Amino acid sequence: MSFDDYAKTWDTDKRINRAKIIADKISNSIEISKDYSAMEFGCGTGLVSFNLYKKFKKITLIDSSKGMIDILNSKISQYKVNNMITNYLDISLENSLDMKFNVIYNSMVLHHIHNTEAIVKKFYELLCKDGYLCIVDLDEEDGSFHKKYPDFDGHNGFNQEKLKSILINVGFKDIESNTFFHDEKIIEDKKINYSLFLMKARK
Ligand SMILES: C[S@@+](CC[C@H](N)C(=O)[O-])C[C@H]1O[C@@H](n2cnc3c(N)ncnc32)[C@H](O)[C@@H]1O
């Protein structure tokens, strides 16, 4: 799936509204201090972070799609936001980030990453002591969600208990998760239901 192809049409009303709900869920799940630095992994066009940037000192937004980062950069200039820093990077392949964050969050990205444990370890390394990780992703489903993307080769959502055990293995503590969002999507004229969970943990 090449996200470059979707970047220009990514910001639909449906995604904008969902991102607001996701951002509210993240900010209500953790205690954010105004001097915290955050990182959004797989930020896309920044839909989630545009609802959160006023709560943080700085947000570093990382994405491996140049198309997504270009759209995000133009929105940052348009809205004159000065604490959102973009980084065109695939941290599952390299780690050129020489910094630590108080909070790392991601939304609808983890199911695209083949090696879940490796990326969770990377998050652990990049967090400050006691830092928060917030993962928002799809609950386990039957593959319908990505049916119209024949080249999708990621995970069909996650079983929360299995994901939790990966976080425990990596060393995370205080892990909590719950499903907070239910929606439907029309795929090939068929209505499919899906849900999202938030899993939060501390280093
Ligand atoms: C489904 S989109 C979600 C975008 C955004 N989080 C949102 O909720 O609107 C997944 C995003 O993850 C990015 N992505 C996928 N694999 C990545 C990787 N290894 N490193 C960084 N970004 C990645 C894609 O380029 C894409 O922008």
Q: How many domains does the chain have?
A: 1
Q: Please list, in sequence order, all residues whose beta carbon lies within 8 angstroms of the beta carbon of residue 42, skipping any fewer than 6 positions away.
A: 62, 63, 64, 106, 107, 108, 109, 112
**pLDDT computed for residue 91 by the predictor:** 82
User: How many whole angstroms from 178 Cα to the centroid of ligand 1?
Assistant: 22
Contact 80, 54 (CB under 8 A): no
Rounded CA-CA distance 19/2 in Å is 21
User: How many whole angstroms from 157 Cα to the centroid of ligand 1?
Assistant: 15
Closest ligand 1 atom to 91 CA: 20
Please work out whether the CB of residue 64 comes within 6 Å of at least one atom of ligand 1: yes
* Domain that includes residue 86, residue range: 3-202
Nearest CA to ligand 1 atom 26: 44
Ligand 1 pocket, mutate which of 49, 104, 109 (most atoms under 8 A from CB): 109
Please work out whether the CB of residue 3 comes within 6 Å of at least one atom of ligand 1: yes
What is the domain-level CATH number for residue 166? 3.40.50.150
Amino acid at 32: I
Taking alpha carbons only, the member of 144, 132, 140 closest to residue 200 is: 132
**pLDDT computed for residue 95 by the predictor:** 65
User: How many whole angstroms from 153 Cα to the centroid of ligand 1?
Assistant: 14
Rounded CA-CA distance 42/90 in Å is 9
| Sequential pLDDT tens for the chain (203 residues) | 589 988 999 999 999 999 999 999 999 999 999 999 999 999 999 999 999 999 999 999 999 999 999 999 999 999 999 999 999 998 877 667 889 999 999 999 999 999 999 999 999 999 999 999 999 999 999 988 998 888 888 999 999 999 999 999 999 999 999 999 999 998 888 899 999 999 999 99
Ligand 1 pocket, mutate which of 3, 5, 149 (most atoms under 8 A from CB): 3
